Structure 1
Amino acid sequence: MIRSACPVALVALLLGGCAVGPDVTPLDAPVPEKWSEAPKASSRPVRLGDWWRAFRDPALDSIIEQAVAQNLTVATARAKVREARATRRVSAAALAPSLSGSGSASREQTPGSQSGTGRNYDYNLYSGGFDASWEIDLFGGNQRTLEASHQALRAVEDDLDAALLTLIGDVASDYIEARGYQARIALAQSTAKSQRDTAALTRNKFQVGSASAVDTSKAEALAASTEATIPPFRAAFDQTVHQLSVLTGQAPGALAARMAAARPIPSPRKPLPLGLPGDLLKNRPDVRAAEKRVAQYTAQIGSAEAALYPKLTITGALSTKALRAEDFAKASTLAWSYGPSLTLPFFQGGSLTAQVDLAKATRDEYLIAWRATVLTALRDVEDDIVALSQEKLHAKKLAEATAGYAKAAELSQSLYSMGSSSYLDVLDAQRSLYSAQDSLLVSRIAIATDHVALAKALGGGWTRQVDSSTPEIIDREEAPHLPPTPPEPELTLFDLVRP
């Protein structure tokens, strides 16, 4: 900040003024050189555009496209972009001169006591004119305000990207969960059918005396227990489809028909490129938005400090008055004035310096928020790296366990059919197999959702242009017009019974 170096008179005007307050400088980011959970990750630039297409699921692609176009949270973010653009135009207008005009025509009377004639004097008076003013931005206060508005606009544009990133991740996660519930329902149905077949075999063996009534009851109970898992899965599936529908800006049941046919659980075909931790500073829209807001409130410090200095305004006026309409605006009726005016803030009770302190404290608040956002982004990536890698190991072991239980179930079923094994072995093998198969499905769902979470943490979102200039409502008849006739008030029961 330089105060004494700024001229106060015409020299400053000729040189275009100067700016007070701190300038925006690059922020010192607490970013490590490499990922602790993936130290050997490639350092090539990360490109995560349309990362969900790696699932190769056209239904998912279609729902994401629809959500981007119709989601209400994204629509709100687009409206905020339009709001920020209008605010920036308002700030830019303060740097330009202002011009206003006025005109009037009136019938007036002068009392006889004032006119000296002893009788009242009636006459017409026509007047009009223009007033102009231009505040010379000597110390850059208006320019700092415009700079703050520009940074606020950039931050809101990043907020739109963040809304799209969150939306795509939520849609992908919900879609994966829905397909997962379908797979678990199918597994429960096929397992229950197999268990019902075993129960029928046990019933036949009981009828010929080679099995007990206890075995028959246990077989039927196991099948019923497996079938009991299906209704909660169906409820969870329907609720997930309802959430997907709302994310696309539609009624909860809008996607029910499209999601009814079962499809495989989406599986990522290749790993995501991690890049370097420093890439998050430009890839994560929430980090970018937080940085822009630091710049916004840094500029507002300059705007507050400019109020401590004199204000120079150039004003001008042109007016005319005439008693007859035909004399209006003749040279003989014209009056004009122009010149500078200087406003000096001698004493304001400390409010101006308090405004500067307030602006500095607010800037520090957003600087700390930016640092916290960076650390949160780093933690998100590290957490999702370890979650995804460990879930893959978990799934590998579950697959081995499932294969073992499948073999055990097959052998126990064969031995039981030949009478060489007790039903308890069959019961235990079938229960263990179903549990292992269902756990493997849950792990596959977790791998896919962890993949989505990592893509979000790395800043993968929508990279195509989004229209944020078209308003949601196209207003008509904005020119002056008669207001519509208000509807007649409806009668209530109280009006009917009131005496």
Structure 2
Amino acid sequence: MTGFERGLRTAKGLLLPVFTAALLSGCVVGPDYRTPLMVVPATWSDRTGTKPAKPAELSKWWLKLRDPELNALVEEAVAGNLDVATAKAKIREARASYRQSAGALAPSLDGSASATRNKSAATTSGSNSVYSEYQAGFDASWELDLFGANHRAVEAARYGLDASQEELRSTLLTLVGDVASNYVQARGYQTRIALARRSAASQRQTAELTRTMALAGTATAADVAKAMGQASSTEADVPSLEASYAEAVHRLSVLTGRPPATLVGRLKRPTQIPTPRLPIPTGIPADILLTRPDVRMAERQYAQYTARVGQAEAARYPSVSLTGDISTAALKLGDLGKNSTIGWSFGPTLSVPLFNAGQLLAAVDVAKAQRDQYFIAYKSAVLTALEDVENTTVSLSQERIRNGKLASSAKSYGDAARLERTLYKAGETSLLDVLDAERSAYSADDTLLQSRVSIATDYIALNKALGGGWDGTIDSTSPEVVDVGAGPRLASSTQ
């Protein structure tokens, strides 16, 4: 064993007991986090009966819309959406920050080595000398964290990692809901476009019949103009519906991480408006504390900033660091490590904040105020979640009632329009009655289609409000940008 190795072992033997004693005597200051107890209602306001509420069925809730194309788009959006990619990058950042904070709890060790060629100044006799000098050594330091500043930092980083994971879940929840909503809207616009064209064609037939009757002297030119005007008015709805349909398709394409026009050809063929299976169980209000990712994220952020209060508090207390170094220096390379060339030192360094004009105390107050803000944000998130469920539940329930009335209305107006056209052909009613009946039938059918879209949209909103999102596996470890040739290399003059 060389003298250098013996010196290093001696230093370690002296330092390790001190390190162990410091660890055993360490403590933490500041408040310890406790999960807040939130008072929520026992049941939802629309709950009737005495049977226990069935838990919400949130796993892949969009499958109950029974549309394979929608299911495929959800899968594609989860894989390609840019907001999801950003949330995954934030998780990687939080993980790295956690490792960085945890690294502060361990000692640091640096090595150094040097070789110099020296020339001494001339002496009074006019002589000088040229010689080489070699040096190698290790420097170690360790902050003992007596009052838990670093431990609180690690605790805050861990809560921050939890919050970033919940942010990804929240992003996925919003994404799935947006994909489903825009898909339903797109199919709704397609169905309404087809209705407008059918209605306009029927109204054109009435106009042609009126033209024939005018030639026979049983109708006037004004009647023909009125009939043609109504058909044109109905046809005028098509361009605005086409524009809205295109916007919905473009949004769907972007949500899947692709250029806006990507899905135009794929969704060109119309299909029916997705219809959910109703009613759906909503569980109890307390469930949202566990199922809503925005609520869970707010709770984790509150925990994170509670830990930061302790971190700021610990800065007001003394800090102790242990430092040590062992080195060897010689004029010949072969002499390095000999006992005569080895030097070492170790010992504690105490730092005590004596006067800072109240800055450290102010930092604690800042941390406490930030903690309070995140606590309030958590309470607000809970109330917002409760409000979302209550609102969407009422909206869905009332829209279903409205849809039943609209269906009855559409049927009656459709029957009336067909009867009026038959009577008009027989010359037993006026053109105005026919036009009014056709206009009412078209309006009733269009309103019924919009109601069907609203029911599906409310169903989507209710599942989002309950916390239903993507529950599959998400890989957040792979970076978006893969660096190539990032190792050490000669710098280019063109860079």
With structure 1 as the length reference, what TM-score do the two structures score? Answer: 0.92
Work out the CA distance in 1 between the residues paired with 2:493 and 2:280: 61
SS at 2:323 equivalent:
strand
Using the TM superposition, give the Cα deviation of residue 10 of structure 1 relative to its aligned residue in structure 2, in angstroms: 9.0
Question: SS in structure 2 opposite 1:475?
Answer: coil
- Which residue number in structure 1 is paired with residue 316 of structure 2? 308
Counterpart among 83, 88, 100 of residue 110 in structure 2: 100
1:117 shift after superposition: 5.5
Distance 1:132 1:422 in 2: 102
Q: CA deviation at 1:367?
A: 0.5
Asked if 1:333 is matched to 2:341, the reply is yes
Alpha carbons of 1:14 and 1:291: their partners in 2 closer, same or farther (altered >3 Å)? closer
Which amino acid in structure 1 is aligned with residue 35 of structure 2?
P
Tell me the amino acid that sits aligned with residue 317 of structure 2.
Answer: Y
Q: 2:19, 2:144 within 8 Å by CA — same for their partners in 1?
A: no
1:287-330 deviation digits (Å, cap 9, x = unpaired): 00000011001011111111122222222211011111121222
Partner of 1:5: none
Cα deviations across residues 412-468 of structure 1 (Å, max 9, x unaligned)?
Answer: 111111111111111110000000000001111111111111111110000011111
Matched residue, 2:121: 111
Taking the aligned partners of 1:153 and 1:355, their CA distance within structure 2 comes to 23
Matched, 1:192 2:200: yes
- Aligned residue type for 2:120: T
- Report the RMSD for the aligned CA atoms in angstroms: 1.7
Task: Give yes or no for the alignment of 1:261 onto 2:280.
Answer: no
Q: Distance in 1 between matches of 2:274 and 2:57?
A: 21
SS in 1 for 2:299: helix
**Could you give the per-residue CA deviations for residues 331-376 of structure 1, whole angstroms, max 9, x where no partner exists?**
2211112222222222222211111111111101111111111111
Aligned partners of 1:42 and 1:273 also within 8 Å:
no
Which residue, 396, 404, 410 being the options, matches 1:396?
A: 404
Aligned counterpart, 1:20: 29
SS at match of 1:338: strand
CA contact (8 A) 1:308 1:352 kept: yes
C-alpha displacement at 1:30, in angstroms?
3.8
Distance 1:117 1:151 in 2: 72
For 1:385, the equivalent position in structure 2 comes to 393
| Aligned residue type for 1:420 | E
CA shift for structure 1 position 234: 0.8
Number of residue pairs matched by the alignment: 477
- The DSSP-based 3-state class of the residue aligned with 2:267 is helix
1:167 shift after superposition? 0.6
| Residue aligned with 1:470, SS | coil
Q: 2:174 aligns with which of 153, 166, 170?
A: 166
Whether the aligned pair in 2 keeps the contact of 1:42 and 1:274 (CA below 8 Å) is no
- Larger mean CA deviation between 135-144 and 295-304 belongs to 135-144
Q: 1:31: which partner in 2?
A: 40
5 Å-filtered alignment, 1:336-485, equals 336-484=344-492
Q: Distance in 1 between matches of 2:228 and 2:425?
A: 17
Instruction: Name the residue aligned to 2:74.
Output: 64
Contact 1:173-1:449 at 8 Å conserved across structures: yes
CA contact (8 A) 1:96 1:134 kept: yes
Question: What is the TM-score when the length of structure 2 is the normalising length?
Answer: 0.93
Asked if structure 2 preserves the Cα contact closer than 8 Å seen for 1:30 and 1:374, the reply is no
1:133 aligns with 2:141: yes
2:107 counterpart letter in structure 1: P
Answer yes or no: is the 8 Å Cα contact 2:78–2:256 preserved in 1: yes
Alignment-mate amino acid for residue 115 of structure 2: A
Larger deviation, residues 156-165 vs 36-45 = 36-45
Asked whether the equivalents of residues 88 and 150 of structure 1 are also in contact (C-alpha less than 8 Å), the reply is: yes
Q: Supply the AA of the counterpart residue of 1:100.
A: D
For residues 314 and 171 of structure 1, the distance between their equivalents in structure 2, rounded to whole angstroms, comes to 57
Aligned mates of 2:19, 2:83 — CA distance in 1: 51
Letter in 2 for 1:67: A
- The AA in structure 2 aligned to 1:64 is V
Please give the alpha-carbon distance, in whole angstroms, between the structure 2 residues aligned to 1:446 and 1:215: 37
In 2, are the aligned partners of 1:272 and 1:455 still within 8 Å (CA)?
Answer: no
Identity %: 52
Code of the residue aligned with 1:474 in structure 2: it is V
| Residue of structure 2 in register with 1:492 after alignment | none
Q: The residue matched to 1:256 in structure 2 has which SS?
A: coil
The answer as to whether partners of 1:54 and 1:270 remain within 8 angstroms in 2 is no
Question: Which is worse superposed, 21-30 or 148-157?
Answer: 21-30
Paired residues of 2:26 and 2:146 also in contact (CA < 8 A): yes
Alpha-carbon distance in 1 for matches of 2:300, 2:444: 50
- Aligned counterparts of 2:466 and 2:258: Cα–Cα separation in 1: 29
Within 2, Cα distance between the matches of 1:151 and 1:252? 37
In the alignment, residue 321 of structure 1 is paired with which amino acid? A
SS at match of 2:322: strand
Tell me the SS of whatever aligns to 1:349.
coil
Q: Distance in 1 between matches of 2:386 and 2:437?
A: 45
CA contact (8 A) 2:23 2:144 kept: no
Does the 8 Å contact 1:30/1:375 carry over to 2? no
Q: In structure 1, the residue corresponding to 2:266 is in which secondary structure?
A: helix
In structure 2, how many angstroms separate the alpha carbons of the residues matched to 1:189 and 1:16? 82
Which residue in 1 is equivalent to 2:89?
79
Q: Is the 8 A contact 1:38 1:385 kept in 2?
A: no
Mapping 1:214-363, distance limit 5 Å = 214-363=222-371
Deviation by residue 1:221-276 (Cα, 9 ceiling, x = unmatched)? 11111111111111111111111111111111000011100010011013332111
SS of the residue 1:258 aligns to: coil
Q: Which amino acid aligns with 1:26?
A: T
Query: Could you tell me whether the CA contact under 8 Å between 2:32 and 2:306 is conserved in 1?
Result: yes
Deviations 1:67-125 (A, max 9, x none): 11111111111100000000000000000110001111111222234xx7642222111
Moved more, 256-265 or 103-112: 103-112
Per the alignment, residue 495 of structure 1 pairs with none
Partner Cα separation in structure 1 for residue 475 and residue 375 of structure 2: 30
CA distance in 2, matches of 1:106, 1:301: 50
Distance 1:10 1:214, change over 3 A: closer
2 CA distance for matches of 1:122 and 1:274? Answer: 88
Contact 1:19 1:302 (8 Å CA) reproduced? yes
Is the partner of 1:486 in helix, strand or coil? coil
Which deviates further from its counterpart, 410-419 or 457-466? Answer: 410-419
Residue segments in structure 1 that go unaligned for 5+ positions in a row? 1-8, 488-499
